[in-house]
Amino acid sequence: MRVTRTRLPGARRTLCPVTDDVGIDPDARPERRWLDDDSWVDVTPGWMRGADALYAHLVAGVPWRQGRVFRYERYLDEPRVGCWYSRDTPYPHPALTAAHRAIQHRYRVTFGGVALAFYRDGRDSVAFHRDDDLRYCENTVIAILSLGARRPWLMEPRGATDRFREGGGSGVIDLAPGNGDLVVMGGACQTNWLHAVPKVRTGKDLGRISAQWRWTSKTGRPERQAAHGAPRRFTR
């Protein structure tokens, strides 16, 4: 496994637009981990300064919505709430606008907007999945700004057969991003790897917000199976 440490292009010596001391730290350094020959993940600890203030602002100010999924022949509430902001609408905090622009510049991609997911406590979670609703998954960039509690954030090779119930198989990697850390998955991650945020049974103040930006090159073979969020039906 290759591990390199690089400074991403486009960093500046001053914070991106600051509100109440919230902004991007230009001195935060990413670490790139190659997961396989075609898949990589960058982790930048402490990328967003003032993350506590940003988290509190979003918890209070975002119009969170309860999503629903069709499972086991009925609709169920998703174990988290969310909100989507198109790039053509005002974001709920200037720091998210600055993050959007900075990530686009660094990775030379264009995002359609930002999706916010709020894990309200340790009972909220998302199972192992790929972002296969993008359809073209062989060359993507998925950027995730983590705010709030440090929670397990797992990745494992697609097709792994030794996964335990809590997501602790031998091929599992726990990135465990902290408050203000930036995680960026790239290359063929959405083809070759799964990711998850499992439930946490112990501890206090386990709320976490994930700000997510996604891009696909729309090249390669399109996905043909149902996406992770598609209805699942089971015959009796």
Task: State pLDDT tens for residues 98-150.
Answer: 999 999 999 999 999 999 999 999 999 999 999 999 999 999 999 999 999 99
The mean predicted confidence, pLDDT, of the chain is: 87
pTM, two decimals, is 0.84
107 — phi, psi (to 5°)?
-105, 0
Q: How confident is the model at residue 225 (pLDDT cuts 50, 70, 90)?
A: confident
Which range has highest mean pLDDT (34-38, 75-79, 164-168)? 34-38
Q: Which CATH class, in words, describes the domain spanning 3-216?
A: mainly beta
CA distance 119 to 127: 13
